Amino acid sequence: MIIETFRQAIQNVWSNKLRTFLTMLGIIIGVMAVIVIVGLGNGMTQSMRDSFSALGTNALSIQVWGYGSRTASVEDVYKIADKNKELISAVSPQIDFSNNTPKVGTTTYRYGTSVYGVDEHYAEMKNYTLAQGRGLQYMDIKDMRLWLLLRDMADTMYKAEGVGLAGPQIGILRRVVVIDVQDDHGLIELVNPEIIAAEGEQGGPEGCLSVPGRQGFVYRPQKVTVRAQDRHGKVFELTGEDLLARALCHEIDHLDGKMYVDIEDHEIVEEEDEEEQE
């Protein structure tokens, strides 16, 4: 009976080839669709698990939205952890800043960028591993203010077509100086500079961005050596001659509250300047 039934089934399949093919094709497509749907579901589930795992096992994210007085400062966020030490082991404020025209040095780039400010606990709380380098530290933030100041001073000096600029000239009461006399030294940045040696003498005209339109004849050392710190706080010495020596003396005088008009031999008028150029 079973053999007869099987033989009859084979005959029916053979006599209806197209129907048999379409039926098998439908079964195959259905099975494949189920496999794909199950795979997508498993993938989405795993992706969500990974996302939640990245938050940490006991991480809580709080977003503060508001305008005007309805804001939270970084100090407010740290106070939450200080008042609940038994519940909160670490906190990392996150500050987002977006700018469509970031500026690096004197070059402005026309593309969008975002900067995220966090503290040292952020990577641990997010289960992130630092691939290279290190995180920013508080001393870096302190130094960054100095770096920005030095960059802005250099930009101001170049725009005014000067060869030097001191902090007091732009209302900054810090002993910082930038100099560029267009020689092999390039841009020189000096923090807390002092002249430790000087020799020889040279005389020549000097002008100043703080006294536009005027020049004076000033005697300066022919060669000077300066001890200063760089932008990272490292102490170094620099020796300059001729124009560089003059620029070093001129800018360090600004730091000590003096200007070239206080020590000039005489003021140079336009006729005298033309004669010297001839």
Integer Cα distance of 64 and 179 in angstroms = 45
Integer Cα distance of 167 and 157 in angstroms = 11
3-state secondary structure of 133: coil
Integer Cα distance of 220 and 215 in angstroms = 15
Tokens of 101: 């025209």
- Tokens 């910082």 correspond to what residue? 176
Sheet order of strands, 202-208 included: 202-208, 211-220, 266-267
Catalytic residues: 251
Asked if 207 contacts 243 with a C-beta cutoff of 8 angstroms, the reply is no
Please state at what angle helix 17-54 crosses helix 2-15, rounded to 10 degrees.
Answer: 90
Q: Find the length of the chain.
A: 278
Integer Cα distance of 174 and 180 in angstroms = 19
